[in-house]
Amino acid sequence: MSSRDFPKYTTASEVKQKAQKSIEKLKKKKEELQPVVIQGRKLAVTWWGMAWNENLTKYSDYVNRIDRGKTYARNGSILDLKIHEGVVDALVQGSRAKPYKVNIEITPLNEKVWSDIKKNCQGKIETLQELIEGKFPEALSDLFTAKGTGLFPTPKEISMECSCPDWAIMCKHVAAVFYGIGARLDTDPAIFFKLRNIKMEELISEVIRKNTEGLLEKADVKSNRVLDDSDIGNMFGLELEAMDQQPVALEKPKRVRKSSRKE
Protein backbone atom coordinates (compact mmCIF):
# COMPACT_ATOMS: atom_id res chain seq x y z
CA MET A 1 0.00 0.00 0.00
CA SER A 2 1.46 3.34 -1.06
CA SER A 3 1.35 6.57 0.90
CA ARG A 4 -1.19 7.87 -1.61
CA ASP A 5 -3.78 5.49 -0.16
CA PHE A 6 -3.68 7.23 3.22
CA PRO A 7 -5.52 10.49 3.82
CA LYS A 8 -3.32 13.53 4.19
CA TYR A 9 -2.69 14.49 7.82
CA THR A 10 -4.10 17.88 8.69
CA THR A 11 -2.60 19.83 11.58
CA ALA A 12 -4.70 21.68 14.16
CA SER A 13 -3.36 24.98 12.80
CA GLU A 14 -4.50 24.11 9.28
CA VAL A 15 -7.96 23.15 10.53
CA LYS A 16 -8.22 26.48 12.38
CA GLN A 17 -7.33 28.40 9.24
CA LYS A 18 -9.92 26.50 7.22
CA ALA A 19 -12.48 27.07 9.93
CA GLN A 20 -11.87 30.82 9.83
CA LYS A 21 -12.22 30.91 6.05
CA SER A 22 -15.49 28.94 6.25
CA ILE A 23 -16.86 31.34 8.88
CA GLU A 24 -16.05 34.32 6.67
CA LYS A 25 -17.81 32.70 3.69
CA LEU A 26 -20.89 31.82 5.74
CA LYS A 27 -21.09 35.34 7.16
CA LYS A 28 -21.12 36.74 3.63
CA LYS A 29 -24.16 34.56 3.00
CA LYS A 30 -25.70 36.17 6.12
CA GLU A 31 -25.72 32.90 7.98
CA GLU A 32 -26.45 33.29 11.71
CA LEU A 33 -23.69 31.27 13.32
CA GLN A 34 -23.42 30.10 16.91
CA PRO A 35 -19.86 28.76 17.14
CA VAL A 36 -18.53 26.85 20.14
CA VAL A 37 -15.58 28.51 21.86
CA ILE A 38 -13.69 26.55 24.51
CA GLN A 39 -11.91 28.66 27.11
CA GLY A 40 -8.95 26.95 28.79
CA ARG A 41 -8.11 23.27 28.78
CA LYS A 42 -11.34 21.96 30.27
CA LEU A 43 -14.12 21.17 27.82
CA ALA A 44 -16.75 21.89 30.49
CA VAL A 45 -16.60 23.50 33.93
CA THR A 46 -20.17 23.56 35.27
CA TRP A 47 -22.04 20.61 36.79
CA TRP A 48 -24.37 20.26 33.79
CA GLY A 49 -21.59 20.44 31.20
CA MET A 50 -19.36 17.96 33.00
CA ALA A 51 -22.27 15.60 33.73
CA TRP A 52 -23.18 15.60 30.02
CA ASN A 53 -19.63 14.68 29.00
CA GLU A 54 -19.25 12.05 31.72
CA ASN A 55 -22.52 10.43 30.70
CA LEU A 56 -21.17 9.73 27.21
CA THR A 57 -18.18 7.84 28.61
CA LYS A 58 -20.41 5.49 30.63
CA TYR A 59 -21.37 3.51 27.55
CA SER A 60 -19.05 1.18 25.67
CA ASP A 61 -20.70 2.29 22.41
CA TYR A 62 -19.11 5.71 22.89
CA VAL A 63 -16.14 5.47 25.22
CA ASN A 64 -13.76 4.22 22.50
CA ARG A 65 -14.67 6.96 20.02
CA ILE A 66 -15.75 10.04 21.95
CA ASP A 67 -12.15 11.19 22.60
CA ARG A 68 -11.68 11.68 18.87
CA GLY A 69 -13.71 14.86 19.07
CA LYS A 70 -11.77 16.63 21.84
CA THR A 71 -9.20 18.26 19.56
CA TYR A 72 -11.87 19.39 17.11
CA ALA A 73 -13.93 20.90 19.90
CA ARG A 74 -10.90 22.72 21.36
CA ASN A 75 -9.53 24.19 18.15
CA GLY A 76 -12.70 26.00 17.08
CA SER A 77 -13.85 23.50 14.46
CA ILE A 78 -17.50 23.71 15.54
CA LEU A 79 -18.56 26.64 13.39
CA ASP A 80 -22.21 26.47 14.35
CA LEU A 81 -24.24 24.59 16.95
CA LYS A 82 -27.96 25.05 17.43
CA ILE A 83 -30.03 23.12 19.97
CA HIS A 84 -33.77 22.64 19.55
CA GLU A 85 -36.30 20.31 21.17
CA GLY A 86 -34.72 16.90 20.74
CA VAL A 87 -32.47 18.03 17.87
CA VAL A 88 -28.94 19.40 17.49
CA ASP A 89 -27.74 20.80 14.17
CA ALA A 90 -24.10 21.72 13.69
CA LEU A 91 -21.41 22.60 11.17
CA VAL A 92 -17.93 21.18 11.81
CA GLN A 93 -14.79 22.07 9.91
CA GLY A 94 -12.82 19.01 8.86
CA SER A 95 -9.86 18.45 6.58
CA ARG A 96 -11.86 19.48 3.52
CA ALA A 97 -12.62 23.09 2.61
CA LYS A 98 -16.37 22.67 3.03
CA PRO A 99 -17.58 22.07 6.61
CA TYR A 100 -19.53 18.94 7.42
CA LYS A 101 -23.15 18.93 8.53
CA VAL A 102 -23.88 17.06 11.74
CA ASN A 103 -27.34 16.15 12.96
CA ILE A 104 -28.05 14.56 16.35
CA GLU A 105 -31.53 13.56 17.46
CA ILE A 106 -32.45 12.62 21.03
CA THR A 107 -35.77 11.08 21.99
CA PRO A 108 -37.84 12.80 24.72
CA LEU A 109 -37.25 11.63 28.27
CA ASN A 110 -39.43 8.68 29.21
CA GLU A 111 -42.56 9.90 31.02
CA LYS A 112 -42.24 7.37 33.86
CA VAL A 113 -38.58 8.23 34.40
CA TRP A 114 -39.45 11.95 34.50
CA SER A 115 -42.34 11.33 36.91
CA ASP A 116 -40.10 9.31 39.26
CA ILE A 117 -37.41 12.00 39.18
CA LYS A 118 -39.93 14.71 40.05
CA LYS A 119 -41.21 12.70 42.99
CA ASN A 120 -37.70 12.19 44.32
CA CYS A 121 -36.99 15.92 44.01
CA GLN A 122 -39.86 16.95 46.27
CA GLY A 123 -38.69 19.52 48.80
CA LYS A 124 -35.02 19.17 47.82
CA ILE A 125 -34.65 22.01 45.31
CA GLU A 126 -35.94 25.38 46.46
CA THR A 127 -35.20 27.63 43.47
CA LEU A 128 -34.44 27.45 39.77
CA GLN A 129 -31.13 29.17 40.47
CA GLU A 130 -30.03 26.25 42.64
CA LEU A 131 -30.99 23.84 39.87
CA ILE A 132 -29.15 25.82 37.18
CA GLU A 133 -26.02 26.12 39.30
CA GLY A 134 -26.07 22.42 40.17
CA LYS A 135 -26.37 23.22 43.88
CA PHE A 136 -28.45 20.31 45.05
CA PRO A 137 -27.90 17.29 47.34
CA GLU A 138 -25.52 14.59 46.17
CA ALA A 139 -28.41 12.12 46.20
CA LEU A 140 -30.10 14.15 43.46
CA SER A 141 -26.85 14.32 41.52
CA ASP A 142 -26.73 10.51 41.54
CA LEU A 143 -30.40 10.40 40.59
CA PHE A 144 -29.96 12.74 37.62
CA THR A 145 -26.90 10.89 36.28
CA ALA A 146 -28.07 7.31 36.92
CA LYS A 147 -27.24 5.12 33.95
CA GLY A 148 -30.41 4.38 32.02
CA THR A 149 -32.83 5.91 34.52
CA GLY A 150 -31.53 9.46 34.90
CA LEU A 151 -31.98 12.66 32.93
CA PHE A 152 -29.15 12.01 30.49
CA PRO A 153 -29.74 10.03 27.28
CA THR A 154 -28.59 6.48 26.59
CA PRO A 155 -27.15 5.39 23.20
CA LYS A 156 -30.55 3.88 22.32
CA GLU A 157 -32.09 7.34 22.69
CA ILE A 158 -29.57 9.02 20.38
CA SER A 159 -29.30 8.94 16.60
CA MET A 160 -26.54 10.77 14.72
CA GLU A 161 -25.56 11.61 11.19
CA CYS A 162 -22.61 13.39 9.54
CA SER A 163 -22.02 14.33 5.92
CA CYS A 164 -18.35 13.26 6.11
CA PRO A 165 -17.15 10.07 4.33
CA ASP A 166 -16.22 8.32 7.60
CA TRP A 167 -18.08 5.02 7.86
CA ALA A 168 -18.14 5.08 11.67
CA ILE A 169 -21.44 5.77 13.44
CA MET A 170 -19.67 8.27 15.66
CA CYS A 171 -17.07 10.05 13.57
CA LYS A 172 -14.78 12.68 15.10
CA HIS A 173 -17.08 15.45 13.85
CA VAL A 174 -20.06 14.00 15.70
CA ALA A 175 -17.87 13.43 18.77
CA ALA A 176 -16.81 17.08 18.62
CA VAL A 177 -20.46 18.17 18.57
CA PHE A 178 -21.18 16.08 21.67
CA TYR A 179 -18.44 17.98 23.50
CA GLY A 180 -19.80 21.18 22.00
CA ILE A 181 -23.16 20.44 23.64
CA GLY A 182 -21.39 20.08 26.99
CA ALA A 183 -19.68 23.44 26.47
CA ARG A 184 -22.99 25.06 25.53
CA LEU A 185 -24.57 23.74 28.74
CA ASP A 186 -21.91 25.70 30.62
CA THR A 187 -23.44 28.92 29.34
CA ASP A 188 -27.10 27.90 29.51
CA PRO A 189 -28.05 24.70 31.41
CA ALA A 190 -31.72 25.34 30.61
CA ILE A 191 -31.20 24.13 27.05
CA PHE A 192 -30.56 20.63 28.39
CA PHE A 193 -34.22 20.43 29.41
CA LYS A 194 -35.21 21.79 26.02
CA LEU A 195 -33.13 19.08 24.37
CA ARG A 196 -34.81 16.38 26.45
CA ASN A 197 -38.25 17.96 25.85
CA ILE A 198 -39.02 18.46 29.55
CA LYS A 199 -39.73 21.57 31.64
CA MET A 200 -37.13 22.30 34.28
CA GLU A 201 -39.53 24.49 36.27
CA GLU A 202 -41.63 21.39 37.02
CA LEU A 203 -38.93 20.28 39.46
CA ILE A 204 -39.57 23.51 41.36
CA SER A 205 -43.30 24.09 40.77
CA GLU A 206 -44.08 20.68 42.26
CA VAL A 207 -42.42 21.79 45.48
CA ILE A 208 -44.29 25.10 45.48
CA ARG A 209 -47.58 23.37 44.71
CA LYS A 210 -47.14 20.94 47.62
CA ASN A 211 -46.29 23.78 49.99
CA THR A 212 -49.35 25.74 48.82
CA GLU A 213 -51.63 22.76 49.27
CA GLY A 214 -50.29 22.31 52.81
CA LEU A 215 -51.04 25.93 53.68
CA LEU A 216 -54.54 25.66 52.21
CA GLU A 217 -55.24 22.51 54.20
CA LYS A 218 -54.24 24.24 57.43
CA ALA A 219 -56.39 27.24 56.55
CA ASP A 220 -59.35 24.97 55.83
CA VAL A 221 -59.06 23.23 59.21
CA LYS A 222 -59.04 26.62 60.96
CA SER A 223 -62.05 27.90 59.00
CA ASN A 224 -64.13 24.85 59.91
CA ARG A 225 -63.84 25.55 63.65
CA VAL A 226 -66.58 27.48 65.50
CA LEU A 227 -65.01 30.54 67.05
CA ASP A 228 -65.58 30.74 70.78
CA ASP A 229 -65.11 33.76 73.03
CA SER A 230 -61.42 33.14 73.50
CA ASP A 231 -60.88 32.98 69.73
CA ILE A 232 -62.68 36.28 69.28
CA GLY A 233 -60.78 37.82 72.16
CA ASN A 234 -57.43 36.67 70.79
CA MET A 235 -58.39 37.88 67.35
CA PHE A 236 -59.21 41.43 68.46
CA GLY A 237 -57.02 41.63 71.57
CA LEU A 238 -60.01 41.95 73.90
CA GLU A 239 -60.66 40.61 77.37
CA LEU A 240 -64.29 39.66 76.98
CA GLU A 241 -64.79 38.35 80.51
CA ALA A 242 -63.62 41.66 82.00
CA MET A 243 -65.90 43.51 79.64
CA ASP A 244 -68.88 41.42 80.72
CA GLN A 245 -68.24 42.22 84.40
CA GLN A 246 -67.99 45.99 83.96
CA PRO A 247 -71.33 47.73 83.32
CA VAL A 248 -71.34 50.20 80.54
CA ALA A 249 -72.73 53.64 81.50
CA LEU A 250 -75.13 54.89 78.94
CA GLU A 251 -74.96 58.60 78.24
CA LYS A 252 -78.30 60.42 78.60
CA PRO A 253 -79.38 62.26 75.52
CA LYS A 254 -79.13 66.02 75.80
CA ARG A 255 -82.35 68.03 75.70
CA VAL A 256 -82.47 70.82 73.22
CA ARG A 257 -84.23 73.97 74.46
CA LYS A 258 -86.53 75.76 72.12
CA SER A 259 -85.81 79.41 71.68
CA SER A 260 -88.45 81.80 73.18
CA ARG A 261 -87.51 84.68 70.95
CA LYS A 262 -89.94 85.64 68.36
CA GLU A 263 -88.55 86.24 64.92
pLDDT tens digits, one per residue of 203-257: 886 556 555 555 556 655 544 544 455 544 454 444 444 444 555 454 555 555 5
Q: Region 96-104: what's the mean pLDDT?
A: 93
Q: What are the boundaries of each domain within the chain?
A: 10-109+151-200, 211-242
Whole-number pLDDT of residue 6: 43
For the cut 60, the answer to whether the pLDDT of residue 10 exceeds it is yes
Residues 6+ positions from 69 with CB-CB distance below 8 Å? 172, 173, 174, 175, 176, 177, 178, 179
Percent of the chain with pLDDT over 70: 71
Q: Region 43-53: what's the mean pLDDT?
A: 96
Whole-number pLDDT of residue 150: 96
Whole-number pLDDT of residue 232: 41
User: Across all residues in the chain, what is the average pLDDT?
Assistant: 80
Whole-number pLDDT of residue 242: 47
Q: Region 12-23: what's the mean pLDDT?
A: 74
Percent of the chain with pLDDT over 90: 47
Whole-number pLDDT of residue 62: 87
Whole-number pLDDT of residue 85: 95
Whole-number pLDDT of residue 64: 80
Long-range contacts from 196-201, C-beta under 8 angstroms, 24+ separation:
196/86, 196/106, 196/108, 196/109, 196/151, 196/153, 197/85, 197/86, 197/108, 197/109, 198/108, 198/109, 198/114, 198/151, 200/128, 200/131, 201/128
Whole-number pLDDT of residue 39: 84
Q: Region 34-52: what's the mean pLDDT?
A: 92
Whole-number pLDDT of residue 55: 94
Whole-number pLDDT of residue 235: 42
